[in-house]
Chains A and B, each alone.
Chain A
Amino acid sequence: GPKVLQIPSHQIIDMGQMVTLNCDPVSNHLYFYWYKQILGQQMEFLVNFYNGKVMEKSKLFKDQFSVERPDGSYFTLKIQPTALEDSAVYFCASSLDRNYAEQFFGPGTRLTVL
């Protein structure tokens, strides 16, 4: 079936550094999402993105977070600067349209902030 890829699978960085998480969504999909999952907890919505714009974001999407998808390349989540509480697995998802609603998830990037 359709696959969403995420690079890297693991990332360890020091607190205060910048990190960029990369997502390669399903090729014809138009809507993109980031979710955060702290170990052992549920996945929580961060942000969705369409046509170059953030459409909706949650309280978890702090000012230090930003997303973009320049020229149809990777859909990225940048955290600058990182904090200890940013340690989590970040899942990217994409969907073909808004109303059909089925989101395909990537394998996640495990981010550890030391």
Chain B
Amino acid sequence: GEQVEQRPPHLSVREGDSAFITCTYTDPNSYYFFWYKQEPGASLQLLMKVFSSTEINEGQGFTVLLNKKDKRLSLNLTAAHPGDSAAYFCAVSATSGSFNKLTFGAGTRLAVCP
């Protein structure tokens, strides 16, 4: 089945620096891609969803890149601030043949220091 590898497991950056997180996946039929943010003790908050037809997506303070050739999904937090400190998880979903089973990466614990 699908396997998702996420790097790095821990990341510490200074306020104002960028933070870069990458996931690689194995199933070439993967079609939907997600980035979630999880603050301590809280549930997952959807940051962005990406469909396979798009390559670059911009959100508020971050950019998501999808490279289908390399089966790589990236999240770049630009100008990170302490409120960005959280765990970030990528998730991948197969095509419509599967009932939306999300496969998650192991997560990146991001600490943004003032």
Which A residues are within 8 Å of any B CB, using their own CB? 4, 31, 33, 35, 41-45, 48, 50, 55-56, 58, 91, 95, 98-99, 101-108
Contacts and interface: CB of A to CB of B under 8 A. Distances in A.
B53 interface: no
Contacts of B102: 33, 35, 43, 45, 103
Contacts of B89: 42-43
Contacts of A58: 101
14 contacts: A4-B43, A31-B100, A42-B6, A56-B98, A58-B101, A91-B43, A95-B100, A101-B32, A101-B93, A102-B34, A102-B49, A103-B102, A105-B36, A108-B43
Contacts of A104: 46
B43 A105 contact: yes
B106 A42 contact: yes
A106 B43 contact: yes
What secondary structure prevails in chain B residues at the interface with A?
A: strand
Given A43-B102, A44-B104, 19 more contacts: A33-B100, A33-B102, A35-B102, A42-B105, A42-B107, A43-B104, A48-B101, A95-B100, A98-B99, A98-B100, A101-B32, A101-B49, A102-B46, A102-B49, A103-B100, A103-B102, A104-B46, A107-B42, A107-B43
A48 B100 contact: yes
B106 A99 contact: no
Contacts of A31: 99-100
Nearest to B93: A101
Contacts of B105: 42
B100 A101 contact: yes
A44 B91 CA distance: 10
Nearest to A108: B43
B54 to A, nearest CB: 14
Contacts of A98: 96, 99-100
A99 B104 CA distance: 18
Contacts of A99: 96
A107 to B, nearest CB: 4
A59 to B, nearest CB: 10
